[in-house]
């Protein structure tokens, strides 16, 4: 099977993780457990997840001239990701994220974007968009860059998937939503996107009028709600023992994109992504937890 090309545009971070028995309250100091230094960043997580799930991935991101940036690019190459268009900026360090994870797998995250904040439309060469079936993005890079990429992709007839995280407090501009095909928020992000909605169904109605053809709401253990202009369906989560949810949303978005580029029907594509994301929560780390295509298939086979 010829693999359709997926373009991921987004952030690259190095995650500094502390394991906790419980997450601290504001102003509280809590003694933690093990410390881990792992690769992360929502864009990088999605690029790695898509590649491991079988996608042919090109990644555009920005890194600094430091050790973290060089190590990140080397890892992408090892994953089989096309790194030709990664921008290196000397004016800022590579991005880092500080992450606290409790015993139930819940987390708190603070991000210092560094070079990610310097990724601008000028870092998006036309060549990178050639013969791309799907563009996958998040919001850990400047919003102007996200909007420019979405606009360029739609003009070329490319599908656009957007995971709107981290969500701006004032929501998303109409010009961006008009160029998105698949919008993938969690329940909290959905409330920011449609603050006047009286229900999830009402929020979906309002958002689908603004451009997307599908709204896919991830709800953790409660599964996924999918809304299109003609239908609504629920895909349950796969029961797992979650130990670390960092990167699970990125895994879902990326593997959904892979499945869609392969021509899978939307319900099957969502089920594929649910299996992948669930499996990722059973492992520590963001990129380290991303499953391979064979592992995803094994989970789906066990569910049938």
57 within domain boundaries: yes
Cis preceding-peptide flag for 166 (omega within 30 of 0): yes
Residue 59 sits in a domain whose CATH number is 3.40.1190.20
102 within domain boundaries: no
Q: Number of folded domains in the chain? A: 1
The model's pTM: 0.92
244 within domain boundaries: yes
268 within domain boundaries: yes
With a cut of 50, list the residues of the chain below it in pLDDT: 1-2
pLDDT tens for each residue of 83-116: 999 999 999 999 998 989 888 878 888 889 999 9
Expressed as residue numbers, the domain containing 187 is 5-12+42-89+120-303
For residue 216, CA distances in Å to 7, 86, 303 come to 20, 29, 22
Report the pLDDT value the prediction gives residue 1, as an integer from 0 to 100: 42
145 within domain boundaries: yes
28 within domain boundaries: no
30 within domain boundaries: no
The residue to which tokens 């290196």 are assigned = 88
Report the pLDDT value the prediction gives residue 3, as an integer from 0 to 100: 58
In the numeric block, which tokens belong to residue 192? 């920011």
Active site residues: 250
Report the pLDDT value the prediction gives residue 210, as an integer from 0 to 100: 96
17 within domain boundaries: no
Q: Within 13 Å, how many C-alpha atoms sit on residue 124's CB side?
A: 23
Report the pLDDT value the prediction gives residue 101, as an integer from 0 to 100: 86
């Amino acid at each position: 099977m010829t693999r359709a090309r997926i373009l991921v545009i987004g952030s690259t971070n190095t995650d500094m993780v502390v394991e906790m028995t419980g997450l601290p309250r504001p102003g509280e100091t809590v003694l933690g457990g093990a410390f881990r230094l792992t690769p992360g960043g929502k864009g990088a997580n999605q690029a790695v997840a898509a590649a491991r799930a079988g996608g042919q991935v090109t990644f555009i991101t920005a890194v600094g001239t430091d050790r973290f940036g060089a190590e990140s690019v080397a890892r992408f190459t090892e994953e089989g990701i096309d790194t030709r268009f990664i921008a290196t900026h000397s004016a800022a360090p590579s991005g880092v994220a500080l992450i606290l994870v409790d015993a139930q797998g819940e987390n708190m995250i603070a991000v210092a974007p560094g070079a990610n904040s310097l990724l601008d439309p000028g870092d998006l060469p036309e060549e990178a968009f050639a013969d791309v079936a799907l563009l996958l993005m998040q919001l850990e890079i400047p919003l102007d860059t996200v909007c420019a990429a979405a606009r360029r992709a739609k003009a070329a007839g490319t599908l656009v998937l957007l995971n709107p995280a981290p969500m701006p407090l004032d929501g998303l501009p109409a010009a961006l939503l008009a160029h998105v095909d698949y919008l993938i928020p969690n329940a909290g992000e959905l409330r920011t996107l449609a603050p006047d909605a009286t229900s999830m169904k009402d929020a979906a109605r309002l958002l689908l009028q603004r451009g997307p053809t599908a709204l896919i709401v991830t709800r953790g253990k409660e599964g996924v709600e999918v809304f299109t202009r003609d239908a609504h369906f629920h895909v349950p989560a796969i029961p797992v023992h979650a130990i670390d949810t960092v990167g699970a949303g990125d895994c879902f978005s990326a593997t959904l994109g892979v499945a869609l580029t392969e021509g899978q029907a939307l319900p099957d594509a969502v089920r594929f992504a649910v299996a992948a994301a669930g499996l990722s929560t059973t492992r520590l780390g963001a990129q380290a937890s991303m499953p391979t295509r064979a592992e995803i298939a094994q989970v789906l086979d066990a569910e049938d």
